[in-house]
Every structure is written in C-alpha cells, then in structure tokens.
C-alpha cells in the first residue's frame, strides 16, 4: 500500500510521516509547493505520478479569524480542495482520509457531540470545513472523515506553542475559562487513523482524546507539567473580541470510534503530560 500525505509540512502531516516511517509503510508527501489542492489539474497530475492507494489530507486553511474576511481562500482549500481530492481519489481508485473540525457545531448542545448531531457552523472557517465534508460525502461512497479538535503537536500552529511563547514575553496570561473542547495530540490522531485503516473502517468519526477541558484548564496543566511559573488570569472568551465567533462548548464524544476499534483512547490530560515529557517544545 502506498500512502500520499497531502500537507506534509504541517504538524499533523509530519506526525503521519513519523508514524508511517516507524511502521515501514511506503509513502510520499506533498506540500503546497508540490500541489495546490484547489487546482484540480494539479491534483490529478500528482495522483497520476504517484498512484497512491491511500490519500491522507492534512492540508487545511486554519486561520479561523482571518477566514472571516478571507472566506474565498478558506473555501478554496477546505472545501474545493477536499472536492478535488475526492474526485481524484474516485478516478484513481484511491481511499481518502480527511480531517474536519469540532467547529462545525454551534456549541449549544448540553453534552458531548456525537456523529449523529446536526452541524451548524457559526463562523466562516467552520462553514468552509463543513462544505468540505459535504463534498466528500457527495463524490465518494468509501472514505474516512475524522473530526478533530484543539490539535497540538511538534509544530508552531497550536495553542500550546502560543502559550509557551506568551509565557516568555508577557507578565501574566489571560486565558478563557468559558471555552471548552478536547485537547487532542497529533500522535493520537495519526495512530488511531492508521488503526482505523487497518480495521477497514469507513464513514464519519470523531477522533479526539477522551474527556474535555476549558482553555484555562489546558493552560494550567501545561504550565504545571512543564514547571513554568506564570500567573494565569481567568477571563471570558468574549473579552478577546475576536473576529470569528467560537462555540462555547464543542467537545465531541469518541465512543463510536472506540467501539469500532475495541480500543480505549487516552484522556486529554494524560496525553498532554506524556507529550510534555517527550516534546522538544518544552
């Protein structure tokens, strides 16, 4: 089986490269320079050259606030890009793995979101991601869509990296106590994606660590584990007055995936401690 990692230079793409190398799997990677996924001709050319069996789409426009005024570009990558990959996979008889987000929900549910819950995105980034899901479901019958949340790993595009940077430059940190989801490591996502492929799963799943937390709880545990002495002041997320509205509670249940794989998924706090103890960022 030959894997193709789209978005090889991001933190998730790099984690897949690490996992696949460790497993001895054959794979190629493509970044933005090698393939503009918003261009169907570029995608088809790449597929014809590599002839992948499994395509892992880690490419995404993740600038949540910028998407409010830059929606065309967010839609080109997150929606049209997903569509182009789906069309190419169908033509080349390849299997597509795609990653979406908890932000497709509006945060109004009391309880964890499941795969059966209806989506209702409340910002432009989330609308582009929801459209990507819909395109894949329209063009393909067999696929894997994993919704992930609050992703972090050995990269600079994560809340953890920002927290560590802020701790070095700011007298104290203001962190939201009223925004909840599931901090999820790239290791968890890559490892359980590979397990899902081996099991032959298809469809939509929530792939997150277990439990949930506020931004405040996440930051406090990170600093405690990393032995960083920095005062954290709890504030409402509304104080930041960000361009894009975020759901207050978008935590998702991973019960469906755990049941299909017959395997537990580590809790967010245990996973974070393990990450801190082994990360080059800390």
Catalytic residues: 125
Residues 6+ apart with CB under 8 A from 81: 37, 38, 57, 59, 132
Structural contact between residues 88 and 35, judged by C-beta atoms closer than 8 angstroms = no
Closest CA to 160 of 236, 226, 206, 210: 226
Structural contact between residues 129 and 121, judged by C-beta atoms closer than 8 angstroms = yes
Residues 6+ apart with CB under 8 A from 78: 60, 61, 125, 128, 129, 131, 132
Which two three-digit tokens encode residue 263? Answer: 């395997």
Q: What are phi and psi of 210, to 5 degrees?
A: -80, 155
Structural contact between residues 54 and 20, judged by C-beta atoms closer than 8 angstroms = no
Residues 6+ apart with CB under 8 A from 118: none
43 vs 129: CA distance, rounded Å: 19
* Rama region for 93: left / alpha / beta (φ>0; ψ in -120 to 50; rest): left
């Amino acid at each position: 089986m030959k894997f193709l990692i789209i978005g090889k230079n991001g933190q998730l793409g790099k984690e897949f490269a690490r996992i696949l190398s460790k497993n001895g799997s054959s794979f190629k990677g493509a970044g933005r320079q090698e393939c503009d996924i918003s261009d169907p001709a570029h995608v088809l050319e790449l597929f014809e050259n590599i002839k992948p069996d499994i395509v892992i789409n880690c490419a995404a426009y993740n600038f949540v606030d910028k998407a409010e005024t830059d929606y065309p570009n967010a839609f080109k990558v997150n929606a049209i890009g997903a569509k182009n990959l789906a069309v190419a996979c169908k033509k080349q008889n390849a299997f597509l793995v795609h990653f979406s987000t908890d932000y497709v929900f509006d945060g109004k549910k009391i309880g964890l979101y499941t795969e059966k819950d209806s989506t209702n995105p409340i910002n432009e980034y989330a609308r582009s991601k929801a459209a990507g899901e819909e395109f894949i479901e329209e063009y393909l019958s067999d696929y894997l869509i994993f919704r992930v949340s609050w992703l972090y790993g050995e990269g600079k595009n994560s809340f953890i990296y920002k927290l560590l940077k802020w701790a070095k430059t700011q007298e104290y940190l203001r962190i939201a106590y009223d925004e909840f989801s599931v901090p999820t490591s790239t290791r968890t996502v890559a490892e359980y994606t590979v397990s899902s492929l081996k099991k032959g799963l298809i469809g939509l799943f929530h792939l997150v660590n277990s439990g949930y937390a506020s931004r405040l709880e996440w930051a406090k545990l990170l600093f405690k584990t990393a032995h960083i002495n920095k005062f954290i002041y709890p504030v409402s997320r509304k104080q930041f007055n960000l361009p894009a509205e975020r759901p207050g509670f978008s935590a998702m249940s991973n019960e469906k995936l755990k049941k299909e794989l017959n395997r537990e998924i580590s809790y967010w706090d245990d996973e974070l401690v393990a990450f801190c103890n082994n990360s080059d960022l800390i």
